[in-house]
Copies of this chain bind each other. A is one copy, B any other.
Amino acid sequence: MESSTIFAARKTIEQVEEGAELAPKFDEKGLIPAVTTDYKTGELLMHGYMNAAALAKTIETGQVHYFSRSRQAIWHKGATSGFVQTVRVLLIDDDQDCVWLRVDAAGGASCHVGYRSCFYRSVPFGDQVDTEPTSALELTFTETEKVFDPEEIYPGVPNPTKL
């Protein structure tokens, strides 16, 4: 499935915002952000990126394909770990520069660190913070147990996190 066929050229703001043609915008690196939530619970599982080919492949197969910025390659989520994400609903935003994937996540995990969601720590705010803090804010873990051991699931695979 060719992205040049299934994606329309962006011609007018009205077309993009109010029209029914899929006309996604890729940034200067050729990427569009992808927000992935659990279909049943609504939990945010991860935030990734897709290039045109990864979005076309996701549409074609119904399984989520991202573009890995660290490896600069299309990444079929779950190909290594088995934690495949099956699309239930795919949406695009007003100016068509972000997609929302509502998925069933196989194995109940989406995070390479081993947690269910990548968002396993909360940040204090408002009244929870001193008015004149003197050091970095302290995060609270919202998930306390890992679903899997990354060293078992990804043996020898470099950690994708960059400083």
Q: Which residues of A contact B (CB under 8 A)?
A: 1, 5-8, 10-13, 16-23, 25, 33, 35, 37, 41-44, 46-47, 58-62, 87, 89-95, 98-100, 111-113, 115, 118-127, 129, 131-142, 159-163
Contacts and interface: CB of A to CB of B under 8 A. Distances in A.
A145 to B, nearest CB: 14
B92 A123 contact: yes
B137 A59 contact: yes
A69 to B, nearest CB: 10
Contacts of A47: 33, 35, 93, 98
Kindly name the residue among A6, A7, A94, A121 whose own CB sees the greatest number of chain B CB atoms within 10 A: A94
B33 A134 contact: no
